[in-house]
Amino acid sequence: MRTLAKLHPEKGLWAHESDVPEYGNNDLLIRIRKTAICGTDMHIWNWDEWAQKTIPVPMHVGHEYVGEVAAMGSDVRGFKLGDRVSGEGHITCGHCRNCRAGKRHLCRETIGVGVNRPGAFADYLVLPADNAFKLPDNIPDDIAAILDPFGNAAHTALSFDLVGEDVLITGAGPIGIMAAAICRHVGARHVVITDVNEYRLQLAEKMGATRAVNVATTSLQDVMHDLHMTEGFDVGLEMSGVPAAFRSMLSSMNHGGKIAMLGIPSGETAIDWNQVIFKGLIIKGIYGREMFETWYKMVAMLQSGLDLSPMITHHYKVADFEQGFAAMASGQSGKVILDWT
């Protein structure tokens, strides 16, 4: 089968033929139809410090996908051949206290598809059936291929009550933009999103942000003043991983504000803790998606009219994957889809 693999410990990915993987009693063998390129795949492509210490070589990667059930182990229940599926990329241990409490997103032993084990940039993916998510017919393949990052956005955005609230999102990457769309969909008032990339800020406005602010040229305080936000934001969603963005969020929050943090800073971040203490802020870290509450909510939001289609800005045949990675690297893209059919 075709794969996109990290074959050498250096920058890049390579098209590579390998055997169709064997599957166990509780696994699905998924025939991949479409995949999307994640920011994580860019780290793997670039072979940065994190990738070097995390990704085994050789291995094929990728974790945003849609496919169909091509075969299954003898103990699998609830799926049939041909079912259209995507899947949760965090494989959890099942034995720890959190797993046993049904809080699998908090498992201490999480293994990542396409990070710690072979991924979805391949004709076939083996996935524990427990991790698969059967898709309703009215969710198109393109959207099904981006449920993983949409799930990051949903898990983060839905951490706190948003109805009638003023929300600040720092970072208009694909996840920040989808979070803005979710906030509007569920009834937030002002949804202000910041970035330094004009292309992405424009996409964020198209997706429903009330203000998309280029912090390189415009002051967030001025925007708050324009919007008559005299007290500050009620909810903050940190989706850049950039310390300066987090600091500006802390200083723009109202007292009693709540912050959910998804963005991953590259190192330690110094902040003014007095902002947290005297404002009584609540800060919650977010990893992955809730299994599987986030998945059900994603489907429900799509079925109740949330339109993510403008997020998908580029399509390539998998043979042209290098162009797809270049589009992602340029910053002039939303989500980039690779077609395996």
175 touches which of Zn ion, ligand NAD, none (CB within 5 to 8 A by kind)?
Answer: ligand NAD
Question: Using CB atoms, what's the residue nearest to Zn ion?
Answer: 107
CA distance linking residue 329 with residue 135, whole number of Å: 30
Q: Which is nearer to ligand NAD, 216 or 300 (CB)?
A: 216
Q: CB 19: neighbour CB atoms within 10 A?
A: 8
Closest approach, Cβ 245 to ligand NAD, in A, equals: 4
Q: Which is nearer to ligand NAD, 70 or 329 (CB)?
A: 329
Q: Please report whether residue 319 would count as binding ligand NAD according to CB under 6 A.
A: no
73 touches which of Zn ion, ligand NAD, none (CB within 5 to 8 A by kind)?
Answer: none
Q: Out of 21, 39, 73, 140, name the contact with ligand NAD by CB under 6 A.
A: 39
- φ, ψ for residue 302 (rounded to 5)? -65, -40
The contacts of residue 267 (CB under 8 Å, 6+ apart) are: none
Annotated active-site residue 40? The verdict is yes
Annotated active-site residue 269? The verdict is no
Q: Please report whether residue 81 would count as binding ligand NAD according to CB under 6 A.
A: no
Q: Is 286 annotated as a binding residue?
A: yes
Closest approach, Cβ 193 to ligand NAD, in A, equals: 8
Closest approach, Cβ 289 to ligand NAD, in A, equals: 8
96 touches which of Zn ion, ligand NAD, none (CB within 5 to 8 A by kind)?
Answer: Zn ion
Q: Which is nearer to Zn ion, 91 or 158 (CB)?
A: 91
Q: Which is nearer to ligand NAD, 144 or 215 (CB)?
A: 215
Q: Which residues bind Zn ion (CB under 5 A)?
A: 92-93, 96, 99, 107
Q: Please report whether residue 239 would count as binding ligand NAD according to CB under 6 A.
A: yes
Per-residue buried b or exposed e for 52-89, using 16+ beta carbons within 10 Å of the residue's own CB: eeebeeebbbbbbbbbbbbebeeebeeeeeebbbbbbb
State the maximum Cα–Cα separation within the chain, in Å, rounded to a whole number. Answer: 62
Q: Tell me which residues are annotated as active site.
A: 40, 43
Residue numbers belonging to the annotated binding site: 38, 63-64, 93, 96, 99, 107, 175, 195, 200, 262-264, 286-287
Interface residues toward ligand NAD, by CB under 6 A: 39, 152, 170-176, 194-197, 200, 215, 239-242, 244-245, 262-264, 286-288
